[in-house]
Amino acid sequence: MLRKFLSQASIRRNFAVSSSSSLAFLRQCSSSSQNPNSHFVEHLEDSTEPPPSATISIDRTALYNPSEHSHELYAESELVKHLKNIIKFRGGPITVAEYMEEVLTNPKAGYYINRDVFGADGDFITSPEVSQMFGEMIGVWAMCLWEQMGKPNKVNLVELGPGRGTLLADLLRGASKFKNFMNSLQIHMVECSPALQKLQYENLKCTTEDGADGNEEKRINSTLAETPVSWHATLEQVPTGLPTIIIAHEFFDALPLHQFQKASRGWCEKMVDVTENSSFRFVLSPQPTPATLYLMKRCKWAETEEIAKLNHIEVCPKAMDLTQEISKRIGIDGGGALIIDYGLNGIVSNSLQAIRKHKFVDILDNPGSADLSAYVDFAAIRHSAEEVSGVSVHGPMTQSQFLGSLGINFRVEALLENCTEEQAESLRTGYWRLVGEGEAPFWEGPDDQTPIGMGTRYLAMAIVNQKQGVPVPFP
Ligand code: SAH
């Protein structure tokens, strides 16, 4: 059945595309918490320790010089004032999770709220922006799942955190020849940023029609595929009752997390405080905080030896709760979810990082002007999903294995057959950025020359309704 997806598609944006440049598609488808006891808060001795960015290597591609710190002087922004006010009026420090949530999604001044942060001129680049092939391959995955679901007439296709909307635009263009699939789609974008919602509207080439009698809600359609599109602030707001396909690419890494540090008195939560000279600093909470419950839950899923060797642990209650929400929906309505992100299949220790203009910077430096993100704990996602009945969890597998098994090598070959030299160069570079590094499956040269990319640090995991069997391309 996968072979059916061998059809036509063209090279997208970035390239001048002639309408005749359609190509054979694939040959084979191949809680925030607070601590009012500020007086007792222990100041972190090791605040001069190198930032996590110096010890981890994360590829949102094009990042370089990871150990660089920046403490440029800046006029205090609204967000900085707001954070300081919260700490002041609360009478004590806030959790890293609360800090992260305010920094990223504060409705007035959050990092994502008012701007386009992606691409060469932004702060970081994601896979859909690297190559059209990424969205197309996710389209192949979604169509295969739809077939396994028994080709329902109506399906909710939900994307969590769609960024510029590029992934979905490429998915819709790539799948446009599959009329039954396309006709079944109701697209739902879960996006907190009004600026990005607007960009998504434009990139999906949407049009708005007034409701029939003027009182009905306006209807928005993507002219890329004549599919209805709607926007929501949370997954909870997406209507239930239809089988659902959920895509979350680089969404979980932006969810607020709590950081814990081992101290002489046991695990303490790391908090954000303000010093007497008004700069942010980390402190340790003197007593258990509400998030400790999540720490205990997470540790129950781990081997004692795994925890014994750690001095830091990150826990993301929002990721655990969202996974359960996704799983319940899929368990009841049918369908499946695909989560792709950078992360580990186990406890994550100390990965929170800030990225500005393609460089790692200090997490506390001018909050709101840099992206904050962390490794995703895929094992916690698996355990959270497995607590819900009616779903099965598959993976994680590396992005390289995932895209390779879905047939990205056939796709790149098909595109290379009919393009200019400049386009070919861009396709090859994009391909290696998506699948390169270490286990890149199609590299035939010497190991020490394996192209660097996002192939192994990014992992893919699927949660599907149990009735649908194993989703491709999971073993
Ligand atoms: N998936 C895209 C963008 C990843 S960046 C890509 O791969 O290019 C994270 C995205 O999630 C942004 O669109 C951001 O605005 C959105 N986002 C972050 N936190 C969110 C939240 N709590 N609720 C809804 N959207 C959120």
Residue owning the nearest CA to atom 21 of ligand 1:
192
pLDDT 10s digits, 277-297: 999 999 999 999 999 999 999
pLDDT 10s digits, 142-153: 999 999 999 999
Residue owning the nearest CA to atom 17 of ligand 1:
161
Mutation choice for ligand 1 from 192, 355, 373, CB with most ligand atoms inside 8 A: 192
pLDDT at 450: 74
pLDDT at 10: 66
Residue 112 Cβ < 6 Å to ligand 1: yes
In sequence order, what DSSP letters do the residues of 181-224 get, joined into one string? HHHHEEEEEE---HHHHHHHHHHTTEEEE--TTSSSPPEEEETT
Q: Tell me the backbone φ, ψ of residue 333, rounded to 5 degrees.
A: -90, -15
Q: Tell me the backbone φ, ψ of residue 88, rounded to 5 degrees.
A: -65, -50
pLDDT at 324: 98
Give the CA distances from residue 412 to residues 38, 248, 379, 409, 417, in Å, rounded to whole numbers and listed in that order: 57, 24, 32, 5, 9
Q: Which ranges of the chain have pLDDT less than 70?
A: 1-10, 12-74, 212-215, 438-443
pLDDT at 319: 98
pLDDT 10s digits, 68-108: 334 445 579 999 999 999 999 999 999 999 999 999 999 99
Residue owning the nearest CA to atom 2 of ligand 1:
163
pLDDT at 115: 85
Residue 178 Cβ < 6 Å to ligand 1: no
pLDDT at 12: 63
Q: Which residues are CB-contacts of 458 (< 8 A; sequence separation ≥ 6)? A: 127, 340, 341, 342, 398, 399
Residue 106 Cβ < 6 Å to ligand 1: no
